[in-house]
Amino acid sequence: MELLSDRIKKLEESATIAMAQKARELKSQGIDVISLSLGEPDFKTPKHIQEAAKQAIDEGKYFSYPPVPGYPELRQAIADKLKRDNKLNYTPEQIVVSNGAKQSIANTLLCLINPGDEVIVFSPYWVSYVELIKLAEGEPVIISGSIENNFKATAEQLRAAITPRTKAVMYSSPCNPTGAVFSREEMEAIAKVLSAHKNIIVLADEIYEYINFSGEHVSLAALPGMYEQTVTINGFSKGFAMTGWRLGYIAAPVWIAKACNKMQGQVTSGANSIAQRAAVAALNGDMTATKDMAKAYLRRRDLVLKLLNEIPGMKTYVPNGAFYIFPDISEFFGKSDGETTINNADDFCLYVLNKAHVSLVTGDAFGAPECVRLSFAASEEDLKEAIHRIKETLSKLK
């Protein structure tokens, strides 16, 4: 322990993974736990994508190290997708494929951040952002949205947070953990602030692009003045239900793509070859399965909202994308069932896990200690049962 680096000592464990572990422990004792803590589609990868992977194995041509930034066919398919869906013009040279969007984000931060550089993070934020900034020896600067404005920090807050040390800005839209989606107007206001600071690079995390109920996905890089300053992060985990295949990518100015290529060449080499062949089929193939999954998430969102709104003390809003809701549960702080007192969101999650056997994640991990995250990537039956149990358990708190 003593011998470990300061770097790893400072790094927090992933709260979502820790909660999933606790839920697994209870399950192994035979307890029927409904897990709403992981950020993972409950659907299977669409059949035609599975078939492409099988075919790649059968062809026998993809067993060697792939090129570090990804196969040319995949980078071309990504470039075509960016043109088709996002009106963005990228050449394959500007694209780097990695082992998940998580690695894409890590690569980008490690290539851009010097010790002491500030990185502005829109909060609530995805758990790994702040830890990866710390790993790169940067300093996270948090700007927070509130439940009243659907958890969206504003362009004004961004302008006020910029200092001469600001090197980068990070956000996800649709957002994990809130499901918030920036509108075109909001995004344009953000772009206006940033385009006046040409030395600030934005990491625009668009991994939930295809799970968007607002009717429009806006890519920051496509807005005036932003192309040269934006690294678009995306991947296959969420829209194509491919979490285990581990594949994500960046589209960026050439100098950043080259740096990420160099970084990845030393750390992991290219991403899994068979998964890359499957990803070509995902991007070039029929999108019906992706659209159907998004429709199912929308139905579940409406169901979850209706049921949560029936719980006294639960404060909600309408998430416009992804598969999470992030209710404010601070009404329950200070209350007790005679045995357990709820003082914070951690206590709330443990109480709900131990008494209702439903796993959620504390908002603390996402920069909002008054909230909890509930993932609705679960069957309607499980969601109904889980929220029924939560309601019963919370009714015992006085």
Q: Up-side HSE of residue 245: CA atoms within 13 Å toward CB? A: 28
User: Minimum distance from CB of 99 to ligand PLP (Å)?
Assistant: 8
Amino acid at residue number 77: A
Report helix, strand or coil for 228. Answer: helix
Q: Which is nearer to ligand PLP, 293 or 342 (CB)?
A: 293
User: Minimum distance from CB of 326 to ligand PLP (Å)?
Assistant: 13
Q: Which is nearer to ligand PLP, 68 or 311 (CB)?
A: 68
Among 90, 122, 126, 366, binds ligand PLP (CB under 6 A): 126
**Contact flag: residue 172 with ligand PLP (CB under 6 A):** yes
**Contact flag: residue 46 with ligand PLP (CB under 6 A):** no
Q: What is the DSSP letter of 171?
A: E
Tokens 């075919």 locate to 55
**Contact flag: residue 41 with ligand PLP (CB under 6 A):** no
**Contact flag: residue 176 with ligand PLP (CB under 6 A):** yes
Region from 98-106, 274-282, 298-306, 385-393 binding ligand PLP, contact rule CB under 6 A: 98-106
**How crowded is residue 75: how many other Cβ atoms within 10 Å of its Cβ?**
25
Pairwise CA distance, residues 266 & 39, whole Å: 29
**Contact flag: residue 217 with ligand PLP (CB under 6 A):** no
Pairwise CA distance, residues 133 & 208, whole Å: 21
Full strand arrangement of the beta sheet holding 324-325: 324-325, 372-375, 361-362
Q: Which is nearer to ligand PLP, 246 or 355 (CB)?
A: 246
Pairwise CA distance, residues 189 & 383, whole Å: 37
- 281: its two tokens: 């089929």
**Contact flag: residue 100 with ligand PLP (CB under 6 A):** yes
Region from 50-58, 96-104, 137-145, 327-335 binding ligand PLP, contact rule CB under 6 A: 96-104
- Residue (of 325, 190, 199) closest to 253 by Cα position: 199
**Binding-site size, ligand PLP (CB under 6 A):** 13
Residues in the chain, overall count = 398
**Contact flag: residue 243 with ligand PLP (CB under 6 A):** yes
Residues in the site for ligand PLP, rule: CB under 6 A? 39, 100-102, 126, 172, 176, 205, 207, 235, 237, 243, 248
